[in-house]
Amino acid sequence: MHRTAVIFGATALILAGCTQEHRDQAMAETVTFADPWASAADSGMTAVFGTLHNSGHHDAHVVSATSPAATMVELHEVTADASGAKIMRPKDGGFTIPAGGGHELVPGGDHIMLMDLTAPLQPGADVAVTVTFEDGSSLPVRAQVRDFPGGKENYQPAEPQDHG
């Protein structure tokens, strides 16, 4: 009887610890950014791609990003407009990485947009990007700069008040 009580007590403590760990874990602690890369550009804007993986038990929400390589960074998506043409625009709500799943940032889809580059991004170099989550935690990333001609999307900027 005493042995059974000890086993149940130990199990309860272990489960309580696991539950507390899952609840308190920052989103940046459960997300990794696989194969991050950025398209080379001499000036203007470019994008960062790769795959975000979430090993956590709760969805993770990317709400913004920053980079010393650009004066403005936005989370973007590519969608079709009424005529079927591809347009690129800021993504409302950011990116959601499902618990135990992933979210791809790809040309022609979701991506991190580096705007008003502060210097040219040459192939073979790295660019620093920091991804920020809804809980305030952040994930620093180094993306390799690669040659890529682009997806030929039209850019549809956000309303000016959305940039603040």
CA–CA separation, 90 and 92 (whole Å) = 6
pLDDT at 126 over 70: yes
- At a CB cut-off of 8 Å and minimum separation 6, what does 98 contact? 54, 59
Asked whether residue 6 is assigned to any structural domain, the reply reads no
pLDDT computed for residue 162 by the predictor: 41
Domain at 45, CATH number? 2.60.40.1890
149 occurs within a structural domain = no
Across 59-85, average pLDDT: 95
The CA-based angle 120-126-132, given to 5 degrees, is 100
Residue 68 belongs to some domain of the structure:
yes
Read off the DSSP letter of residue 65: E
pLDDT over 60 (residue 160): no
Q: Per the domain annotation, does 164 fall within a domain?
A: no
Asked if residue 40 is part of any domain, the answer here is yes
Burial of 66 (0-12, 13-18, 19+ CB in 10 A): middle
The answer to whether position 16 is within a domain reads: no
In a domain, residue 22? The reply is no
Total domains in the chain come to: 1
The pTM score is 0.78
Look at residue 48 and tell me if it is in a domain: yes
| Domain assignment of residue 111, given as a range | 27-143
The answer to whether residue 112 scores a pLDDT higher than 60 is: yes
